[in-house]
Amino acid sequence: MRSSRSRRTAASVVSTLAVLGALASCGTEGGGAGASPRSPASADRTVADSPRGAVPSEDAGSTADRATTAAGRTDRPGTRCRTAELSAAVGRMDPGAGQRNFPVVLTNVSSRTCTLYGYPGAAFVDAAGGQLGRDPKRTPGDPATVTLAPGESAWAGLRYASPGVSGARTATPAALLVTPPDERDPLEVPWRAGAVPVSGDSSSVFLTVLQPGSGP
């Protein structure tokens, strides 16, 4: 009797352990112990919180650039004339007592109003682009802002002593490079007025401040 009860008890224990094992296996199916699937809500939060879920920074930059470009297109009077907005020319020589005088003319060829202030830059160059002589000296004057509507001009006086009178060594330039005030890029004007002084006594070339118009 006792032996029969022992066998039934042992069988009951084995059955109980089998059931518990099956339950444990179901609880961890598809992952390691303690793992739990990510819920859709948590997955959405991860995407939204990542940089890919945000508005790309280049989109924001493009918006700012578009605003800047739009602002830059407003044609406001009083802004400086750029080299690309101007043409340059050398007017007719006005001879003086032992002097040669030329108006160097800058004309607004753009569609907006712009301004010039002060002295232009100028340099005589040969056919290879090499400078002939020194930079012109600035004649003392009172600079004033010159406002140029489209098609309007400003001029500065260029003068030097007549080489035949001064005895300076001369060269014949191929062009005069004219640089608008506060700009870096010059405008090239063919030079057709003969030899200019480049060294020796009385070889200095002089420039005046810009003023409205196309010459004296």
pLDDT at 7 over 50: no
The token duo for 215 is 């010459």
> Nearest CA to 210 among 137, 167, 155?
155
- The conformation of residue 45, written as its DSSP 8-state character, comes to H
CATH class of 83-212: mainly beta
Average pLDDT of span 91-109 = 93
pLDDT over 70 percentage in the chain: 64
pLDDT at 61 over 50: no
Mean pLDDT, the chain, rounded, equals 74
Non-local CB neighbours of 6 within 8 Å, separated by 6+ positions:
none
- Domain spans, the chain: 83-212
Strand 131-132 to 114-117 pairing: unpaired
Confidence at residue 78, expressed as pLDDT on a 0 to 100 scale: 55
pLDDT over 90 percentage in the chain: 56
Average pLDDT of span 65-91 = 65
Average pLDDT of span 200-214 = 94
pLDDT at 206 over 80: yes
Least-confidence region, from 41-50, 59-68, 108-117, 165-174: 59-68
The token duo for 87 is 């043409």
Q: What is the DSSP code string of 84-151?
A: GGEEEEE---EE-SSEEEEEEEEEE-SSS-EEEES--EEEEE-TTS-EESPPPEEPP----EEEE-TT
Confidence at residue 18, expressed as pLDDT on a 0 to 100 scale: 46
Q: Residue written as tokens 């405008």? A: 187
Confidence at residue 26, expressed as pLDDT on a 0 to 100 scale: 42
What are the tens digits of pLDDT across the range 127-176? 999 999 999 999 999 999 999 999 999 999 999 999 888 889 999 999 99
Neighbours of 208 (CB within 10 A): 20
pTM of the model: 0.64
